[in-house]
A = this chain, B = another copy of it.
Amino acid sequence: MNFTIIKKDGAARAGVIETPRGEVRTPAFMPVGTNATVKALCPGELKETGSQIILSNTYHLYLRPGHETIKNLGGLHRFMGWHGPILTDSGGFQVYSLSTLRRVSDEGVEFQSHIDGSTHFMTPETAIEIQTALGSDIFMAFDECPPWPATREEVQRAVKRTAGWALRCKMKKDSGPSGGNALFGPEGSALFGIVQGGAFEELRRESLEELLETGFDGYAVGGVSVGEPKEQMHETIKLMGPLLPANRPRYLMGIGDLKDCLEAVRAGFDMFDCVMPTRNARNGTLFTSAGRISIKRTEYKEDRNPLDPDCSCYTCRNFSRGYLRHLFLSREILSMRLNTIHNVHFYLEFFRKMREAIMNGRFLEFTNRWDAVEW
């Protein structure tokens, strides 16, 4: 992996991440493909929305169908038919948010599957092994994400543990492919560390310091949008953006509210992922250049217009709001598809235009324009 900053506008950066499976132009939004599919979309549609890289989940794929199964089926890219870059979450966040925790120690985490209650033990080493078997392009280090609220002591302990685990992830990954092969092995793949520290500035700084000692290909900020007030989140964004190494990709995990993304890009972040466009689509909430739309509203019953007249996605090129409303009220599968195509396309276009604005030194103008839209 290689990262180059092409243009800066204030602290906002336009860059390129080169991976063995293609370039990622930053700022970049990664649609989430939890179960080896971005919900409702096929790979061709995903590409048509302008997606350059997607995120998939180590925790979910480890539990079902199992990373060894995916490896035996040719690796995650071949499995799901997506041949662009994939970043895999380490499983840390999901182990803490989805499963029932049994025992957490410095060694690792014993947890119960949210699917069938079976017991599993995940360590930094197994997290790397799983991501290796999947054939990930960007690995994430296994971290401990404390809940909100948490005491200083709890967060402190999580920071320490995250630092130790990150080091072990690095050592494990550096020790070579763990059962991978040349076709989908880790050659050229990257490993990002995750900064924890909650709402405690000192602990955030400490967490980053520890990661820097080990050294990673990129740096992520985790433990944001876990229930804390928005102002707190923005504090963390503004604190961490400038602190993260300038010559590495900076990834703000799990944030997808577009105003938050703008704020984060303004603070120097480069990468984002969120289920917001896909989940909202399935719930009938759609993003347009004039703001959010709830497609079920009666006013759209006989509306012949596309969702967003400024949008060139498949949905907007071919279908009326009236039809989309009907599909949604009829709970048709096509409703979830067409809505997802639109929302993901809208997000990718938003990021494409944001990057263009940075390239043209007009990021402030871009920000002001979108700040005026009601989301």
- A: which residues have CB within 8 A of B? 35-37, 39-43, 64-65, 69, 72-74, 79-81, 301-302, 304, 314, 318-320, 322-323, 325-327, 329-330, 332-334, 336-338
Contact = CB atoms under 8 A, between A and B. Distances in A.
A323 B72 contact: no
A326 B64 contact: yes
Interface centre among A35, A43, A64, A304 (most CB of B within 10 A): A35
Contact of A326 (B36, B81, B327, B333): B36
Contacts of A73: 302, 304, 320, 322-323
A323 B323 CA distance: 32
B332 A65 contact: no
Q: How many copies does the complex hold?
A: 2
A334 B41 contact: yes
A150 to B, nearest CB: 32
Given A37-B330, A72-B322, 9 more contacts: A36-B323, A37-B334, A41-B334, A42-B314, A64-B326, A65-B325, A65-B326, A73-B304, A79-B322
A73 B300 CA distance: 11
A46 to B, nearest CB: 11
Contacts of A80: 323
B322 A42 contact: no
Contacts of A72: 302, 322
Contacts of A41: 334
A212 to B, nearest CB: 38
Given A64-B329, A65-B329, A81 B39 contact: no
B334 A65 contact: no
A327 B43 CA distance: 14
Contact of A337 (B35, B42, B319, B327): B42
Contacts of A327: 35-37
B39 A333 contact: yes
Nearest to A72: B302
Contact of A301 (B65, B302, B323, B336): B65
A126 B185 CA distance: 65
